[in-house]
Structure 1
Amino acid sequence: MNNDEVLSLIKKLGEEDSYYLRKHARERMNERNITTSDIKDILTNPKRVLRTDTENEDGITSYKIEGGVHNHRLALKFDEDQAIIIITVMDKR
């Protein structure tokens, strides 16, 4: 997938609430005061793919994206059912 296709898929799945957060992402949300509303905003308003990692141990490509009104960042991947797995949540830095 190219970056535009990735962003389109993220937006589509975000609008369908087809995503879940790993424990690590939930912990980072608490540390960084990022809400579930912020997560929804990032997913439904993705702005750009910052990095694509294809050399993951599990063989699944992951993406670091930026989006939402506050330009927060997420690391995510897609599962076999085309749901978003949110790996971690980052402040804009």
Structure 2
Amino acid sequence: MFFSLEIWGNFSFGGGGKMLKRSWTAEEIEKSKALAGKLPTGKIAEQLGRGPVAITMKARQLQISLRTHGASSPSQIFKETAPARGTS
């Protein structure tokens, strides 16, 4: 199976077809910390020019929660749409 290089975006391939990692800058780490919990992972990825998996992996490495809070979080939506307990 062959893939277009466009799929891989900002990555380059080294000898043997291995994907080379792009190092994180101090600014990217600080920005990801500032945006964590405020924006969804996909939006953070767009702002940093990285993929969502890279954002998730770095957040895990830094022990940063990416869980968003507020009305748009899945738990909040569930609470707003679920019937109250004891009423059916």
The answer to whether TM tops 0.5 is no
Normalising by the residue count of structure 1, what TM-score does the alignment of the two structures yield?
Answer: 0.26
| Larger Rg, first or second structure (1 or 2) | 2
Structure 1 or 2: larger strand share? 1
1 or 2 for the larger relative contact order (CA 8 Å, sep ≥6)?
A: 1
Normalising by the residue count of structure 2, what TM-score does the alignment of the two structures yield?
Answer: 0.27
